[in-house]
Structure 1
Amino acid sequence: MCNCVILEDILMELRRLRRRLFGYKKVDVFDFISEVDEKAAEVVAEKEREIEELKARIAELEADRDAVVSVLKLAEKTAKELVDAAREQADNMRREAETEIAEKQKACDTVIAEKKKACEEELEAMKKNCDVELTEKKSTVNREIDIKRKAIKNYYETENKKIDRIKNEVERMRKASMDAIQSFERQLREVERMSENSSSYLETAENHSQTDSVPEVFADAERDIPVHIIESISE
């Protein structure tokens, strides 16, 4: 009865190992194998204990030699069969466990290889996307730099044109100022000349004040003397 319980426990442990869905731990497998060995050893020990009990029983029945020999042979045969059966069962369980472990190891290796390949492909795709994005960003930055460079160039060209226009305007105003000054100086000299002529005209007018005729020297007075001077003389 005890042997059946031990074997049933071993079978339950084996079924539990088979029911695992994915992967395994080597520690668990080694523990299981060790447990199988221990339980097999317990079975062997139990059988050996039974053999010892049978031997003790045989010793008690030594009076009946033939019966004892017959019982002993039967006991040895039974014990050997039980031990061999237990060992064979343990070996079969170990082989099944090793086979299942190898299959799971192969399945794990396959899954790992697939995951590795998928990760490598994803990494390569991410790298390509990064390269494309980097190229686009570089192109965008270069376009922005080119636009800003052109804007700055246009700004400086516009400002230079403004400066040139201001310089030209200043030059024009300077020239106009010089022309105005020169014109003023000419007018001033003309006024001085006319002032000198006016003095001469006045002196001549005083000398001929007793006559009714207009001296020849006053023939062009209106041309040479300003109107307000002529009016002053008339008064």
Structure 2
Amino acid sequence: MAAMRIPATVITGFLGAGKTTLIRRLIEQADGRRLALIVNEFGDVGVDGEVLASCGVENCSADDIIELANGCICCTVADDFLPSMQKLLEQVPAPDHIIIETSGLALPQPLVQAFAWPDIRQRVMLDGVVTVVDGAALADGMVAADLNALEAQRQADPELDHETPVDELFRDQVAAANILIVSKGDLIDGAAGERVTGRLNALTDGTTPVMITRGDTAPLKAIFGLGLEDEAFARSEHFDHHHHHHD
């Protein structure tokens, strides 16, 4: 009998959107699950592996954190992602769930496509793609709170191999998602929340669930156990066929 595949969740979103906070909350709600993290640390931006390693949560051991320090995951995916996954899969006991955090400038689709590689697909199931959106920024008509910081991140990353405009990259991240997590919901009122939800629904034709989180609330059960590998692959293929692809 073939071993059960390990579920993996991809978490994407711009710098400052709330990916680190979401990952911390997932770790705190692990409830005995052995979670493994592949985090993209680039300088002092993105998820800070050291902070996560010392966050004081029992489930968060340094061995489970694999930092891809040479730029965004998708851009160097053939060189970095596969060995990172293989290292995780060699661990005993094996992780119960893998969380992959991308750089804020990552195009998610190439990473999703990497899960179709035979060496990966045999052992790992892509459970779902979660895109974190800054609700306060989007309510004000912006895709990120600090566009200058995003541009500085782009300029500082020698590995980045695309020059996708920020608005287009935002649409790509939204299109890749199986669920959209709107952070900072406590900073926006009901009308602003409706505007944010409406804008996201317009980008997805209303096909992607939108969850507005307030404070640090982000229930693990809403993000884990989606079982949406086929849907994630279909979204990725749609991106390839109908989108200007950045080689």
- Please give the TM-score of this superposition, normalised by the length of structure 1: 0.18
Q: Larger Cα Rg: Structure 1 or Structure 2? A: 1
- Please give the TM-score of this superposition, normalised by the length of structure 2: 0.18
Higher relative contact order (CA 8 A, sep 6+): 2
More helix by share: 1
